[in-house]
Structure 1
């Protein structure tokens, strides 16, 4: 057929179908909606919307006047009301008002869904009808198929013996069953309800039935929020029994919802959880509450090691963030529970928790934050709730407020460079002083945890006790104005002069009431509770980079020297050091202008010089190396790091001698994906390593692996009486397409020495025998984990096993072994399950369970 004939046939078919499908209104000579009769009484042409116009393309047109049919034959394509129908042959039956399409037939909906079948029998507007050998592919790659399907009301699909899946067919073998599919006697998809109903359904994996579900329903791919049940949650522990939670989500409005999660536990009864979420124009917030009246309190340890005295246990959590304007935000993240073991016992997930093997606490905060290109403001408060038996709530501070302000002025008049203004105000209150024994020698061989609020310090003695926090109120206000400027001379040398003025005011009101708090009077003089200090400083940094180019790379060698002059630090023993208790001297803080202390409470004094050399090399396109080595010297005045405060911060730091320890770091990448990093601190006289941190990582599309090593010498003045040494290995391997295995192990390389020392002491005391000698080597595992993961476009499957040895300092007597399972089927939901293998006693659970 020529192009002219093809165009004529298409035009004729379009005209014919448009007339035949116009309905009785035109046949009876009545105007359609929007049309008016003309002067001669004939109806005028109705205004036709563009989407209502029919466009037909076909190779030929066949009329049958006897049967009143019009057939389009050959590569037929019809566009009508946003839908496109394609087939080898399309026949319109005027008498029955039906359209039949056969041969490679398919309909493309306006939303992108593609419906294919062997034969379509539809109404004249393509909305309703029957389809044989149906296959539907939605825009989100979900698929339906059925031997026969019916569409009614233009929005309800009924699939007889239907199959649903979100998996793509195998490219090499499309007839092979997908990884998973739902096979159902009937699948009903109601678009108006945005819901899919499954009757007499079976969940199949690789064509093998794995689960039978008489009836279920779920939202279709267009749904983002819909009222209904969510995936169930399972729990099984010795103290709780077996439990099943069934969350019910209530979509109250597009911007707020409610989730109810009742969980029945065979041993403890009904655990209730409710979560409210609300999004507004300028932010959002959420509130979640959990609670249970326990049926079997004997499953837990008695106070103070467990919550056996609690009949009702629960928690309340809330978080929120609101934008006042583009620069200012206000928010909070708060959490409270009836006891410190609730979250762990009942598997309550909480984003405010900071959990590790040795430290567990819930941190609640509220804040006001403002930012601009040159300024930063933050005002907040903190509340800490301990989650292990060792910490005492009365020793936790309530910090309110903490105010930080930073303002930078670039190139100020007359000075140039950069001018910076810093302010910090901190106030906290603590009911009871927090003491720690020095040295704090806790035995890993203790079988029953001890509980002491005073940690061995019956009477305060600076040589035997550390004061980690005073009772009463401690407040401090600090302000600092600093200036620096980079000057490059004609030789390429970089000179950076520096000047600053720092002022602090302290107000300490110790609480001397009670047995414990009476010891505070020997630490801080209650009659002199307000004092201050002023610390001016001037300094200069010198750098001179030398650049060399060779055939194998570019090299930059840069000697660096810095000197800062200050008067002596004052009142170090009167300062309640709350925010500067952590001090790690390494290459990262070697050239810090404000010293090496981590907070405001302590301040470096005297005249100090810091020197070092930096090397940077580039080799080819990918390889590079960066190395720094240096040392610090106390030139004049009193060394702030040799005079310990109430927690001995600065002692055993490598800075407490006039010539500090050597510090060095290295970063090397010999090839793409391969990184070597390391840092160390070496004794200034013996060159023995005091700290070592090293790691090697390599990753590509197939394998990812890392090796880490850490070694830290004892710091007896800080209560750390033994060396800490560990080795970690971790990696993952893609063993097949979509499959990956992973594993990790952490070795405590020094624990076996300590165990043997403890055994010798116990043997000498007659409490141990030769049979109990810890005959172990250095490679004792602190934790291990193994995992298997499968991920593709429709499925995520993950199973893992982890084990960590008992932390006897935290009260645990048995190793923790956990197996976790997760299965996510795209669009259907996910199932998570974890199970502890064996009981522990570090979480308040009775050892008899």
Structure 2
């Protein structure tokens, strides 16, 4: 962790400065604080290691606290020639000399041990390895015989992470303080004949191992051997330090909505298990945004976990906002907290909760994705083993769209899911069961069929259980049969719920229902081999017989409102997404699958199929109600209209999974109209991976609905790319393009330089989203990071969320 250490005289100056600040306006405040920060840096009190480990670089410790020295340990000396001078009490060793003491290893061409002075003098190709693994190279060194103190000439110290200090001479005192004269420090890998990319040069460098600090006096910061910045004093923690209280590097930015901004984070390292980062953001146009993050790691017996709390708030003037919304005047803010705790090898507990003053605060200040449409808070208790799953989870839902009412929210308290598979075979097959329990309430505002407005509290509860048995057989001809029996029952209770068929209230009602089903899945794979490839053609058929109809159409539907019919759920017993709707009647599913595999690793799989509803109630049916035989149930909107299963004969589905080589793969899923063969839905993703180059592209298409003119064609293209241009240089980019509107929803491009000790990134981002006080935005960001010294950012927009940090890719 980086820090700014401020001496007592500097603290007094700051107190006086803060008294002056009360008398100046906002713009003067920004200028004054900026000048103050420049003063702090130039006076040398900057001490900047990040609170979080800088993951882009090797995290090995070096130059750390010295190991305790035990003087009772013996000193071992060996060499090609040993000369003992009893009169002068000196032992001279020559040729391949090595001394081992307390995990220190000293090698040299010659070592003289002076027993009377208790010193060791080594000369010629001297190498000293300390217990931490750091290596000191020099031509001459003088040490006390306990290796605590010493004097070195013309030395080079190499840490385990290749950080390097070179100096003309050095003196070690008290076994902990090493002072270097005319020294240089750099974490860059040594390249003979070339200056390091960056280094710190100083008349004196003082390393205090106990305090874990490196101090520089009369310092210049050099880039490629050229001095660029002079500091009379500079100090930072040595590379062994991960965290320490202090100021972090400031961040500057400018924005049309916020104006000039300045962020001066301060990190509080209270202990190894908890800390606080206080990072207020001053904005010239919106005022001071107070922010902070509290992090805490906990351990109680076998319980391990961590949580964090983020807070943000601002005294907002609505006249400063783009839409001048007076409802947003005054205090705005939010609290966000997340956690995850491991209770045992199977059980865990956690929460994800955000509380905010209004729908747009977090998105306007870019603490959330600007495309987010819902606020979902949750708390869970989960058990997961190899085959079984149990979870108790509570939810709170709130809408963030313009059409959502602030009063329209729902609470799940809670939902319980239990999936269990019996370990031992039952009648030679697998027996499993699923249990779901739900208690839900919501505040609902709507207009009924007569146009009357209602705003009421609704509630619903349900308990649903299902048991399934299945077994697999293979006959002598190679045909595979999988029979299955499924029993499902449930009890549902509603109060003030809305009947979707009439848009009227259900005052109070309890409903029980049950469905019994039996199915048979059969497949007949045909296999063909060659010397280098294999081919499998597999016809697949399935018939499912269920209860012809149960009551569900006029009951609320909370969790089964959408369906994406494709090859992945063609042979599912129930294609709905939740528990509030269940398939009934008799259905046949047919498909043909082809699989190809080559010895070189190439792979392809194609699956085409169709579904047929033979009898009973088709819950996917959607009609206009004009036909004389159509009743209220079939005329209502059961699920998403034009879902591909609304007729007795479904649309065709096709899935293609291609991987001709390790560098390229393609996944495509399509649904085609059963009468005209026109494309109704498509999802295609292509990936190209070659060394450090990675390109991913996704295309989605949903056709318009002939029964609902408000639903138009929707086409979107998403792409990401990482291209290695040269050694240390790469290009990064992403886009989201609306094909129908011929416009970019968002896109960004970045150019990055990265090596072992330095990262530089420039990035441009543009978003085109308008919602209340959220408007389109453009951002340019400059980011650089120095190993062991921290990072710096400048951007034309302080809204951090818009820039996806690609440095860790």
Give the TM-score category using the shorter length: 0.7 to 0.9
Deviation, structure 1 residue 642: 0.5
| CA 1:189–1:591: 2 relative to 1, 3 Å | same
CA offsets per residue over residues 549-597 of structure 1, 9 Å max, x none? 124411111110011111234333322111111211111110111x211
In structure 2, the partner of 1:298 is 319
Deviation, structure 1 residue 461: 7.5
CA offsets per residue over residues 348-374 of structure 1, 9 Å max, x none? 4xxxx5x363x3433221111123344
Conservation of the 8 A alpha-carbon contact between 2:321 and 2:773: no
2: CA distance, partners of 1:306 / 1:798: 40
Conservation of the 8 A alpha-carbon contact between 2:257 and 2:322: no
Is it true that 1:490 corresponds to 2:476 in the alignment? yes
| CA 1:822–1:383: 2 relative to 1, 3 Å | farther
Is it true that 1:72 corresponds to 2:93 in the alignment? yes
Deviation, structure 1 residue 547: 0.7
2: CA distance, partners of 1:161 / 1:461: 89
Deviation, structure 1 residue 213: 4.5
2: CA distance, partners of 1:708 / 1:327: 36
The secondary structure found in structure 1 opposite 2:343 is: strand
Conservation of the 8 A alpha-carbon contact between 1:233 and 1:833: yes
Deviation, structure 1 residue 152: 0.9
Q: Which structure 2 residues correspond to residues 50-449 of structure 1 after superposition, within 5 A? A: 52-62=73-83, 69-94=90-115, 96-170=117-191, 174-267=192-285, 268-269=287-288, 271-281=290-300, 282-294=303-315, 296-301=317-322, 308-309=328-329, 311-348=330-367, 355=369, 357=371, 359-413=372-426, 415-433=427-445
2: CA distance, partners of 1:652 / 1:554: 39
Is it true that 1:618 corresponds to 2:597 in the alignment? yes
Conservation of the 8 A alpha-carbon contact between 2:681 and 2:701: yes
2: CA distance, partners of 1:477 / 1:236: 55
1: CA distance, partners of 2:420 / 2:504: 34
Deviation, structure 1 residue 406: 0.8
1: CA distance, partners of 2:262 / 2:675: 63
Of the structure 1 ranges 118-127 and 80-89, higher mean CA displacement relative to structure 2 is found in 118-127
CA offsets per residue over residues 368-396 of structure 1, 9 Å max, x none? 11233443110011123444544333222
**TM-score, length of structure 2 as denominator length:** 0.82
1: CA distance, partners of 2:665 / 2:378: 37
Is it true that 1:591 corresponds to 2:571 in the alignment? yes
| CA 1:560–1:730: 2 relative to 1, 3 Å | same
1: CA distance, partners of 2:225 / 2:186: 12
1: CA distance, partners of 2:155 / 2:636: 79
| CA 1:470–1:693: 2 relative to 1, 3 Å | farther
| CA 1:222–1:683: 2 relative to 1, 3 Å | same
In structure 1, the partner of 2:580 is 601
2: CA distance, partners of 1:116 / 1:803: 52
2: CA distance, partners of 1:68 / 1:605: 102
The secondary structure found in structure 1 opposite 2:146 is: coil
| CA 1:388–1:750: 2 relative to 1, 3 Å | closer
Conservation of the 8 A alpha-carbon contact between 1:649 and 1:718: no
CA offsets per residue over residues 306-362 of structure 1, 9 Å max, x none? 7631x22222222223333333222212121222233233344xxxx5x363x3433
2: CA distance, partners of 1:102 / 1:732: 51
Deviation, structure 1 residue 812: 7.6
Q: Which has the higher contact order (CA 8 A, sep 6+)?
A: 2
* Structure 2 unmatched ranges of 5 or more: 1-68, 623-633, 802-809
In structure 2, the partner of 1:33 is none
CA offsets per residue over residues 594-644 of structure 1, 9 Å max, x none? x21111111111111100011111122211110000000001112110047
1: CA distance, partners of 2:774 / 2:341: 45
2: CA distance, partners of 1:664 / 1:521: 33
In structure 2, the partner of 1:768 is none
2: CA distance, partners of 1:346 / 1:530: 46
Deviation, structure 1 residue 90: 1.9
In structure 2, the partner of 1:790 is 753
After superposing on structure 2, the runs of 4+ consecutive aligned residues of structure 1 that deviate more than 6 Å are 48-51, 837-840
Q: Which structure 2 residues correspond to residues 539-558 of structure 1 after superposition, within 5 A? A: 539-558=519-538
Conservation of the 8 A alpha-carbon contact between 1:473 and 1:508: yes
| CA 1:270–1:395: 2 relative to 1, 3 Å | closer
1: CA distance, partners of 2:635 / 2:217: 73
Q: Which structure 2 residues correspond to residues 609-688 of structure 1 after superposition, within 5 A? A: 609-643=588-622, 648-688=638-678
Conservation of the 8 A alpha-carbon contact between 1:794 and 1:825: yes
Conservation of the 8 A alpha-carbon contact between 1:299 and 1:308: no
Of the structure 1 ranges 731-740 and 221-230, higher mean CA displacement relative to structure 2 is found in 221-230
Conservation of the 8 A alpha-carbon contact between 1:300 and 1:307: no
The secondary structure found in structure 2 opposite 1:622 is: coil
Q: CA RMSD in A?
A: 3.2
1: CA distance, partners of 2:374 / 2:195: 49
In structure 2, the partner of 1:731 is 721
The secondary structure found in structure 2 opposite 1:343 is: helix
CA offsets per residue over residues 632-691 of structure 1, 9 Å max, x none? 000111211004797641420010011100000111222221112211111001111111
2: CA distance, partners of 1:100 / 1:285: 52
Conservation of the 8 A alpha-carbon contact between 1:816 and 1:837: no
Q: Which structure 2 residues correspond to residues 712-751 of structure 1 after superposition, within 5 A? A: 712-715=702-705, 721-751=711-741
Residue from 813, 829, 835 that aligns with 2:796: 835
2: CA distance, partners of 1:136 / 1:62: 30
The secondary structure found in structure 1 opposite 2:154 is: strand
Is it true that 1:708 corresponds to 2:701 in the alignment? no
The secondary structure found in structure 2 opposite 1:298 is: helix
Conservation of the 8 A alpha-carbon contact between 1:647 and 1:718: no
2: CA distance, partners of 1:480 / 1:568: 18
The secondary structure found in structure 2 opposite 1:431 is: strand
| CA 1:412–1:719: 2 relative to 1, 3 Å | farther
Is it true that 1:823 corresponds to 2:803 in the alignment? no
The secondary structure found in structure 1 opposite 2:477 is: coil
1: CA distance, partners of 2:708 / 2:485: 33
In structure 2, the partner of 1:807 is 769
Deviation, structure 1 residue 813: 8.6
Conservation of the 8 A alpha-carbon contact between 1:575 and 1:645: no
Of the structure 1 ranges 312-321 and 60-69, higher mean CA displacement relative to structure 2 is found in 60-69
The number of residue pairs the alignment matches comes to 719
CA offsets per residue over residues 715-735 of structure 1, 9 Å max, x none? 365775210123445433211
Conservation of the 8 A alpha-carbon contact between 1:307 and 1:341: no
| CA 1:581–1:215: 2 relative to 1, 3 Å | farther
Is it true that 1:506 corresponds to 2:519 in the alignment? no
Conservation of the 8 A alpha-carbon contact between 2:313 and 2:334: no
| CA 1:814–1:103: 2 relative to 1, 3 Å | same
